[in-house]
Amino acid sequence: MDREAVKSVLRGQEIELPSWAFGNSGTRFKVFGQPGVPRDPYEKFADAAQVHKYTGVAPRVSLHIPWDRVDDYAKLTDYADDLGVRIGAINSNLFQDDEYRLGSLTHPDRSVRRKAIAHHAECVDVMRQTGSAELKLWLPDGTNYSGQDDLRARQDRLAESLQEIYALLDPQHRLLIEYKFFEPYFYAMDIPDWGTSLLHCLALGEQAHVVLDTGHHAPGTNIEFIAMQLLRVGRLGAFDFNSRNYADDDLIVGSADPFQLFRIMNQIVAADALGPQSRVSFMLDQCHNIEPKIPGQIRSVMNVQEATAKALLIDRAALAAAQQAGDVLGAHGALMDAYNTDIRPLLAELRTEQGLDRTRWRPTPPLVTQRRSPPNGSAASRQGGEHEHGRQGKGRGRGADRAVEPARLGSAEHELRRRQRLGQGHRCRSGHRRGRGVAMGQGLGR
């Protein structure tokens, strides 16, 4: 594909952002609060809109229920619309309730399963009110010890629960089922792999698809093979992109292994699955525990864009000819030639052509960083801002309760710090501040 054709495909690319990437997050050891983090879903959308403003390819934001519960979803949808972004997938949450200790959709007690199913009814209702077409379900159920529960009975209960959830969907809805090989349980997860996810999808029907989270595999797994196989049978519903070095690290996609990301995008391009007609949703599922969050998301989006552009550059005719001729090095070389191309000038050109803000982001000056340091970790910081509404992001273990709470600041000070974070804002019709310009971050260009 030549440069112009690559740019034209890239213009249509969409990468969905997770609302939880903008809240505080951390590990079981520590959550580092950041000043000015969003206090509610409206502020998360304002932050996400910044990412779209600078990249032009991130017009959708996934919500997580109950973290992103609001009284008026029509108002939130309008607000997103005002900002030029849309509501994407609705994620359910089956991992934060005491009753789910032994499972949710697989729990031996029917009443617990019913509660978990009812939660999905709420999510489907949110989909109807927001116009979202995707219900994303990650099942955190599993067991820690052999013999703890009957593995097969758990699958049967799961199949039954999923059927009830599937029956809630409208015809335009999709159920996206995510797998994960370990955590929070460490003997057997109930949907540990793509095979299990796919079997449940096939049993459910055409509206059920598999979610491939790149961080949810054993080290060394050939993820592009899984992507290819799911594409082959038309059941790859979505990616949750992130990077991992050891476990489910949720690092910036393409940071640990950019070549893997390229190999995945190669399968996507080869299957002609980049456009909306394929209905493969390219989502991020990450946390930015130590780096600034908006620039972290921008970096992530650009990493996906770069990998996509390189995959588009592959000389497919030369590749096919080499493969047919058994030319091992020639075929591998066709991939490597594309991968080793510096694509950044082309992407910078594309952004200019799209009229995107070419502001060069600079790292935050140390002084500002210092001034912005929140009094986190203290009991005071846990009190939260005035709009605090509990957990909104990912944290692990004992840090989790603190994972999401904004540092304790008076509302005026918090507002000021948000404005510093986003640049000077002005009021939108919903009364929430809309940011203009970002004050800190990394270079957007080369």
Residues that bind ligand PSV (CB under 6 A): 91, 138, 178, 180, 213, 240, 248, 285
Rounded to an integer, what distance in angstroms lies between the CA atom of residue 317 and that of residue 312? 12
Rounded to an integer, what distance in angstroms lies between the CA atom of residue 122 and that of residue 94? 13
Residue nearest to Mn ion (CB): 240
CA distances for 211 relative to 50, 101, 175, 179, angstroms? 26, 24, 10, 7
Residue nearest to ligand PSV (CB): 138
Q: Which of residues 231-270 bind Mn ion (CB under 5 A)?
A: 240
**Least CB distance to Mn ion at residue 214 (A):** 9
**Least CB distance to ligand PSV at residue 395 (A):** 11
Residue 132 backbone zone (phi > 0: left; psi -120 to 50: alpha; other: beta): beta
**Least CB distance to ligand PSV at residue 95 (A):** 7
Minimum CB distance to Mn ion smaller for 180 or for 293: 180
Q: Is 285 in the site for Mn ion (CB under 5 A)?
A: yes
**Least CB distance to Mn ion at residue 189 (A):** 13
Minimum CB distance to ligand PSV smaller for 14 or for 178: 178
Burial code of 142-178, b = ≥16 C-beta within 10 A, e = fewer? bbeeeeebeeeebbebbeebbebbbebbeeebbbbbb
186 class by beta-carbon count within 10 Å (0-12 exposed, 13-18 middle, 19+ buried): exposed
Rounded to an integer, what distance in angstroms lies between the CA atom of residue 422 and that of residue 440? 9
Measure CA 165 to chain center. 22
Minimum CB distance to ligand PSV smaller for 91 or for 255: 91
Rounded to an integer, what distance in angstroms lies between the CA atom of residue 266 and that of residue 401? 40
Residue 180 interacting entry, from Mn ion, ligand PSV, none, C-beta within 5 to 8 Å by type: ligand PSV
Q: Pick the piece of the chain touching Mn ion (CB under 5 A) from 162-170, 280-288, 328-336, 392-400.
A: 280-288
Site string for Mn ion, 208-227 (x = CB under 5 A): -----x--------------
Three-state DSSP class for residue 56: coil
Minimum CB distance to Mn ion smaller for 40 or for 240: 240
Contact set with Mn ion (CB under 5 A): 213, 240, 285
